[in-house]
Structure 1
């Protein structure tokens, strides 16, 4: 059964079906630019997908058919980022959204077409996997606007782009085609435009068909390894050990013996 909700006056939409969630940045008249309310809604939307809909994978995409997102809605800046104090509040909202994507317990796939600029580039960098079509263009125009990019988002960019490409993106503000970001490893796949949705949701379906506890443990182990964080490493070890006591581990072995597809329950 399909479940759905909207947040931030319909600017953030979520839906879930068959263990797969969708998070849609939906402001197509402004190239899916994110208002402050939309930034603030992202963590709540992710929580809904995880805790209410109980999805096993999430696809993050833009509304309409042309763009992922132009990033923060600059038309608000005279109000919501008018001075350093307001800018710090706004940046905290950005960081909470990046964190929600980065720390979601299930894999998040960014499905990218058209413009992926500024904060939207940051959301994509926080995701686990990124697929783009051949219309996608990426840029971080912060240096051209006279503002700074949040440090936690810069860390995501360094992990996802590599140090040299992250520096080039931040220092120059120039735009990069999907082919350049495929070459540096930011993207796992580039497809023709009409194939993007199918590719992203096919990948999510493949992930969702696997043992949920194994995938959750794998994501935590990856995060812990990248961060070299002792707390996360300990949590990853606990999650990994728990898989060997799970019903899904018994089902996986039985399916292998019986030469059939396993049916996992996440228990």
Structure 2
């Protein structure tokens, strides 16, 4: 099933238990416009409601960029000063929140430039796989801007404060091997193996128990939250749902029979 959102700048498809979102503005290295944020959120809504979708992949059209950042051509109109920036943040908040709280596993398939807000999108994913030759960076210091708390917190959670300072203060680009070294991405692979690597990963996730994926993702997110924001009762309920599920029974049966389980998400 193929879908389009944001006037075709967000493409979405469902295949083999995987929902795929493609940022489709290659002439601007897939820079994110306001409407693209809304389109991404709409695609994620469709994927969440479809029980056949076990995980989601985000990627960029073409071979030049994942997402090169925000669409700078909109800055004069939408982000000209602090007041305009606050309004821009409100307009894009829905998409950011949707991705940041999405219950199913999300993988970033990164090829080419992954810069600024594009890196923010990748950091909001659960797993990041990048092709050799990809370029990363947060050039805020070179544009005279600063990034919000949530994005910087994601960065610090992944790479620690020392590397975060280096990335933010220099504004310099760095390659995929360096991104892997500091913990920003999970794995770097040759460019011609990226699609196969991600397909192998999504096939594994699509076969695993959906309730387990949901519960464990939610628990990892809670670990990174402030203690006061953690909903321990909800985490315990998600864990109990796993133990009370038909999938847990199927998992035990499959283990004893030495076969692959057929999980249904219930």
Decide: shared fold, TM above 0.5. Answer: yes
Partner of 2:105: 107
Partner of 1:142: 140
Higher mean C-alpha displacement, 85-94 vs 18-27: 85-94
Q: Among residues 77, 80, 94, which one is paired with 1:79 in the alignment?
A: 77
Q: Among residues 30, 44, 53, which one is paired with 1:55 in the alignment?
A: 53
Tell me how many residue pairs correspond in the alignment.
265
> TM-score, length-normalised on structure 1?
0.94
2:245 is equivalent to residue 241 of structure 1: no
2:20 is equivalent to residue 19 of structure 1: no
Partner of 2:258: 259
Shift of 1:228: 4.2
What is the SS of the residue equivalent to 1:34? coil
> TM-score, length-normalised on structure 2?
0.95
Aligned-partner Cα distance in 2 for 1:161–1:23: 26
Verify the 8 A CA contact 1:16 1:53 in the aligned structure 2. no
Partner of 2:174: 176
Verify the 8 A CA contact 1:24 1:63 in the aligned structure 2. yes
Partner of 1:124: 122
Gaps of 5+ in 1: none
Task: Output one character per residue of 1:12-58: Cα deviation in whole Å (capped at 9) or x when no partner.
Answer: 11111221111111101111111111123222221111114651111
Gaps of 5+ in 2: none
Task: Output one character per residue of 1:164-209: Cα deviation in whole Å (capped at 9) or x when no partner.
Answer: 1111111111111111111111111100011111111211110110
Higher mean C-alpha displacement, 44-53 vs 19-28: 44-53
| Structure 1 pair 110–139 and aligned structure 2 pair: CA distance change class (3 A) | same
Aligned-partner Cα distance in 2 for 1:232–1:98: 21
Q: Among residues 30, 40, 43, which one is paired with 1:32 in the alignment?
A: 30
Higher mean C-alpha displacement, 47-56 vs 121-130: 47-56
Shift of 1:106: 0.9
Shift of 1:87: 1.1
Shift of 1:155: 1.0
Verify the 8 A CA contact 1:70 1:120 in the aligned structure 2. yes
